[in-house]
Chains A and B, each alone.
Chain A
Amino acid sequence: MIARQANPSARVVIVTAHWGEGLDEVTDATRLVAGALARNAQVDVIHLVAPPEEPTVVDDSVFTVHRVPLHGSRHLRAGLVRAALATYDGGRSVPPIAAQLLDSFEGSADDVPTLLASLAPDAVVLAGHHQPWEIAALGERDAPGAPRVIAMPYLADSTVLRSAPVEQVLLRADRIAVAHSGERRAVLAAYPERAEGEVVPIDCGFSINRGAASNRLFGVRFFGTYVLTIRSFPPGGGRWERSATHEVLRSTVGRLSVAEIDGEQWRISDRENTLELPVSPSRVNLWRLMAHAVATVDLRPPGPIGRESIESMLLGTPIVVPEHSAGHEHAADADGGLWYRDVGELIDAVRVMSDRRIRDRFAFQGQAWAERKHGRMDDFVERMRDLVIPIRARERTS
């Protein structure tokens, strides 16, 4: 078992396959959590790497990253299975046989327990449900000397939540941190033995550059009132191959213009004209489009966090998002937008948003909720400190 260190500063280790230059939301969220923790602790990251390579230690900003190989991983096959699953419903419902197959393709990180023993952390954050190593090495929950364990599964699928590899992670964790209310409900349904207080929201803090966002992108003002659709962002991220096309949306949303972000291709159209927006596909430019839109419509396969939904509400723009997504949970919790099952409902929702009174009400409610839950970075840092770092380690540090 891992013995707690005698070092006076608190030490947190994050074990994750989601680090580095990944485009996925989980990598984003993991870095945010790590950054918040680094304000109050020394943070080491154990990055589970596939394809396997020799273990190395690298400095990444304020983090020390230990790159640990996933032995026996067959990442190409795993990637193919994931892509196939994502084709149908964004990978939300994973059949048990596919989960087993993925598990066998993911390999195992047998070096993690030894590394954890040498780091002797006060707390261990398991970011992502893929943790193919001997979790028993963390010791029993509440056992003297055992580190505090926080699991962040980023998963709202009950089948996978109850699968053996995920079960051992969630049963060992002292706290399970969830990205949205839907994930919380799913975890509590799958693990009724866990007390409600043990499943806590992460409520990631997102910094928005409001000064930059207040400047419209060049040329956009000539298109009047517009709705923003996100088909793919960031570039290279997931996208549905079948969805309402830009032309169909444009011809069906009445007087509104339609701005669209599709990877590196950004454009805006009204009844007669289309302008290709010659801008870099950056997050700041996304905010500049988002801040002046009637609504932000998310056409992407649902992600586990719903970052753009939260950012849109922070900027005072209501959202229209797919049902059963993280964004849907945010819209429902905040009363800051609507959700759709199909293209018909999507266009219904956009037409509702074209009513200024409704739009303003959703914008106000959404912004108030987003500010309270996600808008204050200092609160997020404190939440992460209280969630992850044990009281004894905090007292020792102070």
Chain B
Amino acid sequence: MEDLPGDVRLDARAVVEQLRALVNNAPGAYPRTWLPQATFDELLIRADRDPIHLHPSLHHLHRHWDMGHARTHAGSGWGPKALSRRLLARIVSAALDRYFTEEQEYRANLAQSIDAIAYRVDEIASSDLRALLEIIRKDLLELSRYVDDRIDTRLGDS
């Protein structure tokens, strides 16, 4: 969105499509650091123990694994110091490009693995609660059928 022109109408459809294209076309390059892929289960969130996917360290990992910005940041300023720093950065970047790419992939895979483990742990932790919820749900359905039948017979809801 950096190149948003002056008074041109902003097309909501185009923005949504652009966002989706960014995610679909280059999932690795577009960091969704904010979103652990774990479950968003209300039941789990209200459980006695905090779910892993809400742990601050996991969020820290998601926010910081991506080096894309640091690698492409050209720096600012036109003084001699800034220019020499930029030149140095270019040389280092060119020399270590392969290493940085591998490092980026490694960090992405690490974040995804830990996320997947967190997801699995949360799933297991919530399965007992879900089973309990299912039993309660069935009981409530039975109760509602019973009440409905009673109303049918006693109060004429038929």
Binding site for B on A (CB under 8 A): 51-52, 72-77, 80, 241-245, 247-248, 251-254, 331-332, 334-339, 343-345, 347-349, 351-352, 355, 357-358, 361-362, 365
Contact = CB atoms under 8 A, between A and B. Distances in A.
Contact of A335 (B10, B34, B156): B10
Given A76-B157, A77-B148, A242 B41 contact: yes
A365 B9 contact: yes
A283 to B, nearest CB: 26
B45 A335 contact: no
Given A332-B12, A343-B35, A365-B9, A241 B148 contact: no
B14 to A, nearest CB: 9
15 contacts: A74-B152, A74-B157, A243-B42, A245-B40, A252-B59, A335-B9, A335-B11, A335-B12, A345-B19, A345-B20, A349-B19, A358-B1, A361-B10, A365-B9, A365-B10
A73 B152 CA distance: 10
Contact of A336 (B12, B13, B34, B158): B12
B12 A337 contact: yes
B95 to A, nearest CB: 34
Nearest to A72: B158
Contacts of B64: none
B29 interface: no
Nearest to B36: A248
A338 B10 CA distance: 11
> What class of interface size applies to chain B in its complex with A?
20 to 34
A352 B1 contact: yes
Contacts of A355: 1
B82 interface: no
Contact of A338 (B9, B12, B23, B144): B12
B20 A362 contact: no
A352 B19 contact: yes
Contacts, number: 88
Interface of chain B: mostly helix, strand, loop or mixed: helix
A355 B1 CA distance: 9
A351 B40 contact: no
Interface in B1-42: 1, 4, 9-13, 15-16, 19-20, 23, 32, 34-35, 40-42
Contacts of A251: 34, 54, 59
A52 B157 CA distance: 8
B149 to A, nearest CB: 10
Contacts of B40: 242-245, 248, 343
A131 B158 CA distance: 19
Given A76-B144, A248-B40, A344 B1 contact: no
The winner among A252, A352, A362 for most chain B CB atoms within 10 A is A252
Contacts of A244: 40
Given A76-B157, A252-B35, 5 more contacts: A76-B144, A338-B15, A339-B16, A358-B15, A365-B10
Contacts of A242: 40-42
Nearest to A51: B157
A352 B23 CA distance: 14
A71 B155 CA distance: 13
B151 interface: yes
List 3 tightest A-B contacts by C-beta distance, closest first: A252-B34, A361-B10, A335-B12
